[in-house]
A and B are shown apart, each in its own frame.
Chain A
């Protein structure tokens, strides 16, 4: 954990000397992959839309079409559901500060248009979150299930277009799933599990800051 945190801080610290910076924003359609202690899923759990914003650094890595990016994001997740049997309504809305790193590889280009694939890994920390059960709102800060470091992995593809020599915009789609936020224990035969599942659609700008 400490090593990963140190690596991310070093990468962020080098943003000042990066070749490209990017600003990205978009919508996340997030939901939970949840099983209770009996291994039973909630029968009606739906995804909810959230927003996120990312800034970061991008540079070429080893080969021409392979690039690495380091960034930080403010991202929201959540879900909504109900239980008809007992008549409960529940909703979650949580926001995380994420530090992520990614690799993208350009598949091909047509004139100024580039098509690439991308994979990211991120580490997130809870900033704020609420849970609503019927008419009761609960602060999720300091709640074990949510207030912990979340590791999230995504993969997707994108389209990038060069506007000018120093500016490009891109649109990309990423789908990801987190590691288990809550993991049951075999000792107590507790099968409770919680993961985030997200689909992101975003728009970003790449600004070339390297001097030729």
Chain B
């Protein structure tokens, strides 16, 4: 049997997320792997109480890799139970509990135990960690509220950024339009400058033709001598013109190349702008600046070319003038030859005029072609700009859609939160109503119970005074009512108390243990004072002297009567010098009437109210139901 010792472990685990404590609660009842020896069959599955054990927790991720491991050494209680908090033990892994990435994938908790409290662990259990829904805690609610505030801030920030972006875009469009206009102005100015150059050249040529005509006319006489020099000058002029045409063509090609480069840069800028609008703006600005620089350079080059042409023209004029002077010096010598050559020169001049006219036409054609190329470049730039504006507008629409989607999501979240809050308020209100009803019912029940208790705890014959409008059953008002009007039980109890006929009338009566028959009413609330109730008062007064009456007077023989005061009455005087004096006799008793004022003012005597200050109540007696 002992060899077959089984390890039956029933584990009750409770995992609960506690916001205040970072950890997982673990509770288990540890059963003793050793059975209890008894006669017959041994008892197995006994708890392992009050024993130190070692517990090792290992958290394994979805891939089966150990993610965290810690160990505890703890003691079971009287019931074999242990309570641990995973995350507070001694980590044996290189990672910390807080490093566990709770990404929602399946994780397993592997538990091992050493029943001797050491570190020789044997597997105990391995099970999936489950996630439990929790009501929002104060921190979560605070986080939601702070998140709502963050969302509001994000909406405000996105709206501001959008507005700023739109402003930047409008500014960019405005700036690009201005740049286009500036480029167009530059092109126009260039064209005007070219036209002016052409006009100047034409004018110069016309002047030169005029001057040449004049010179021809002046030199006509020297033509013959100067024909070779003139032909040489013509060749030089032709060469210069060809050089000028070549230079202008090269300048046009450079402009075209710049325009192509600008177009390529614009396309590249478009591609870059799609990825990063800010970078594109920066790049476009740089490209525009480069274009502007190129245009400026072109303008400068054109101006330099014009200046060079003008300079060349001046030099040519100087050279022609010098040649003319040289020719003039030779005119005299050559006049004859010139005159001879006039016809030839006229013919040559006509040919020259024709050639110059042809050259002018070619130059004009080149200028027109240049203008056409510039206009085409402008059109291409305009098209590219429109495409860029369209792309930027589309990008703005996408951004606006994203912002709108975020705002819609935020509004939905707000609506959901509002709905949840309203539902919670409704639920709480309903619960409060239910509680209020329950409390009211409990109060009513309490009143009923108090009434019952009051009735049940009263004893027969108990008297109670109250200002209550009514009393529980069993209490009878002492108003002198006939006992026969009471219930049979109350009549019996009244008889047992010695009450006969009518109930005592407690009206204006006071409760007193005065030795009288119980339940009898005696005494009065008024009192008529009897004589012996008066204080012992001695009255004094003066007797009236009115009314003549007789008194005997005792005297001695030696006494004499003498007249006094000359009156007819005599006064008995004591002349013997002995005795105590003369006095009237005591015989002949009589009364004197002494009259005093009435002590009560002479009115009829009335009974005196002796009722003290009184609280009006009703008096009840308990006679049972």
Q: Is the CB of B47 within 8 A of A86?
A: yes
CA separation between A97 and B464, bound complex, in Å? 79
Q: Is the CB of A146 within 8 A of B40?
A: yes
CA separation between A92 and B46, bound complex, in Å? 19
Known A85-B49, A86-B49, A87-B47; contact A92-B40, beta-carbon cutoff 8 A: yes
Q: Is the CB of B47 within 8 A of A143?
A: no
Q: Is the CB of B43 within 8 A of A133?
A: yes
Q: Is the CB of B47 within 8 A of A145?
A: no
- Does A194 make an interface contact (CB < 8 A)? yes
Query: From residue 10 to 50 of chain A, which have CB atoms closer than 8 A to chain B?
Result: 32, 34, 36-37, 42
- Does B32 make an interface contact (CB < 8 A)? yes
Using Cβ atoms and an 8 Å threshold, which residues of chain B touch A90? Answer: 38, 43
Query: From residue 158 to 212 of chain A, which have CB atoms closer than 8 A to chain B?
Result: 182, 192, 194
Query: From residue 374 to 417 of chain B, which have CB atoms closer than 8 A to chain A?
Result: none
CA separation between A194 and B40, bound complex, in Å? 10
Q: Encode contact with A along B1-12: 1 for CB under 8 Å, 0 otherwise.
A: 010000000000
Q: Encode contact with A along B46-86: 1 for CB under 8 Å, 0 otherwise.
A: 11010000000000000000000000000000000000000
- Does B556 make an interface contact (CB < 8 A)? no
Q: Is the CB of B40 within 8 A of A36?
A: no
Q: Is the CB of A194 within 8 A of B39?
A: yes
Q: Is the CB of A88 within 8 A of B46?
A: yes
Known A86-B32, A88-B36; contact A133-B49, beta-carbon cutoff 8 A: no
CA separation between A52 and B32, bound complex, in Å? 39
Min Cβ gap B2→A in Å is: 8
CA separation between A194 and B47, bound complex, in Å? 25
Q: Considering residues B36, B38, B40, B49, which has the most beta carbons from chain A within 10 angstroms of its beta carbon?
A: B40
Min Cβ gap A143→B in Å is: 5
- Does B589 make an interface contact (CB < 8 A)? no
CA separation between A37 and B37, bound complex, in Å? 8
CA separation between A88 and B32, bound complex, in Å? 13
- Does B41 make an interface contact (CB < 8 A)? yes
Query: From residue 59 to 86 of chain A, which have CB atoms closer than 8 A to chain B?
Result: 79, 83, 85-86
Chain B interface, DSSP helix/strand/loop, else mixed: loop
Known A86-B32, A90-B43, A133-B43; contact A192-B49, beta-carbon cutoff 8 A: no
Known A86-B46, A87-B47; contact A145-B36, beta-carbon cutoff 8 A: no
CA separation between A192 and B35, bound complex, in Å? 14
Q: Is the CB of B47 within 8 A of A131?
A: no
Using Cβ atoms and an 8 Å threshold, which residues of chain B touch A88? Answer: 36, 43, 46
- Does A7 make an interface contact (CB < 8 A)? no
- Does A123 make an interface contact (CB < 8 A)? no
Min Cβ gap A83→B in Å is: 7
CA separation between A133 and B47, bound complex, in Å? 14
Q: Which residue of A lies closest to B78 (CB)?
A: A85
CA separation between A92 and B39, bound complex, in Å? 9
CA separation between A32 and B2, bound complex, in Å? 21
Min Cβ gap A58→B in Å is: 34
Q: Encode contact with B along A110-153: 1 for CB under 8 Å, 0 otherwise.
A: 00000000000000000000010110001010010110000000
Using Cβ atoms and an 8 Å threshold, which residues of chain B touch A79? Answer: 39
How many residues belonging to A are interface residues under a CB distance threshold of 8 Å? 24
CA separation between A79 and B39, bound complex, in Å? 10
Q: Is the CB of B46 within 8 A of A145?
A: no
Using Cβ atoms and an 8 Å threshold, which residues of chain B touch A32? Answer: 39
CA separation between A138 and B47, bound complex, in Å? 21
Q: Is the CB of A34 within 8 A of B39?
A: yes
Q: Is the CB of B41 within 8 A of A138?
A: yes
Checking B2, B32, B40, B46 against A138 with a beta-carbon cut-off of 8 angstroms, the contacting residue is B40
Checking B37, B43, B47 against A192 with a beta-carbon cut-off of 8 angstroms, the contacting residue is B37
Using Cβ atoms and an 8 Å threshold, which residues of chain B touch A140? Answer: 40-41
Q: Which residue of B lies closest to A134 (CB)?
A: B43
Min Cβ gap B29→A in Å is: 12
Checking B36, B40, B41 against A83 with a beta-carbon cut-off of 8 angstroms, the contacting residue is B36
Q: Which residue of B lies closest to A182 (CB)?
A: B39
Min Cβ gap A191→B in Å is: 10
Using Cβ atoms and an 8 Å threshold, which residues of chain B touch A182? Answer: 39
Q: Which residue of A lies closest to B50 (CB)?
A: A85
Q: Is the CB of A86 within 8 A of B36?
A: yes
Using Cβ atoms and an 8 Å threshold, which residues of chain A touch B38? Answer: 36, 42, 90, 131, 133
Q: Considering residues B32, B37, B49, which has the most beta carbons from chain A within 10 angstroms of its beta carbon?
A: B37
CA separation between A42 and B38, bound complex, in Å? 8
Q: Which residue of B lies closest to A192 (CB)?
A: B37
Using Cβ atoms and an 8 Å threshold, which residues of chain A touch B32? Answer: 86
Using Cβ atoms and an 8 Å threshold, which residues of chain A touch B41? Answer: 131, 133, 138, 140, 143
Q: Which residue of B lies closest to A88 (CB)?
A: B43
Using Cβ atoms and an 8 Å threshold, which residues of chain B touch A87? Answer: 46-47
Q: Is the CB of B46 within 8 A of A146?
A: no
Q: Which residue of A lies closest to B79 (CB)?
A: A87
Min Cβ gap B115→A in Å is: 15
Min Cβ gap B191→A in Å is: 111
Using Cβ atoms and an 8 Å threshold, which residues of chain B touch A34? Answer: 39
CA separation between A143 and B37, bound complex, in Å? 14
CA separation between A131 and B32, bound complex, in Å? 21
Q: Is the CB of B49 within 8 A of A131?
A: no
Q: Encode contact with A along B353-373: 1 for CB under 8 Å, 0 otherwise.
A: 000000000000000000000
Checking A36, A138, A146 against B37 with a beta-carbon cut-off of 8 angstroms, the contacting residue is A36
CA separation between A143 and B41, bound complex, in Å? 8
Query: From residue 97 to 117 of chain B, which have CB atoms closer than 8 A to chain A?
Result: none
Q: Which residue of A lies closest to B2 (CB)?
A: A37
Checking B37, B40, B46 against A131 with a beta-carbon cut-off of 8 angstroms, the contacting residue is B40
Using Cβ atoms and an 8 Å threshold, which residues of chain A touch B49? Answer: 85-86
Using Cβ atoms and an 8 Å threshold, which residues of chain A touch B43? Answer: 83, 86, 88, 90, 133-134
8 nearest A-B pairs in the assembled complex, by CB-CB distance: A86-B46, A36-B37, A131-B40, A138-B41, A133-B43, A194-B39, A88-B43, A145-B40
**Chain B residues at the A interface, C-beta cutoff of 8 Å:** 2, 32, 36-41, 43, 46-47, 49
* Interface CB pairs A-B, < 8 A, 13: A36-B38, A37-B2, A79-B39, A86-B32, A86-B36, A88-B43, A90-B38, A92-B39, A131-B38, A138-B40, A143-B40, A145-B39, A182-B39
Extra contacts besides A87-B47, A92-B40, A134-B43 (13): CB < 8 Å? A32-B39, A42-B38, A83-B36, A83-B43, A85-B49, A86-B36, A86-B47, A88-B43, A88-B46, A133-B38, A138-B41, A140-B40, A145-B40
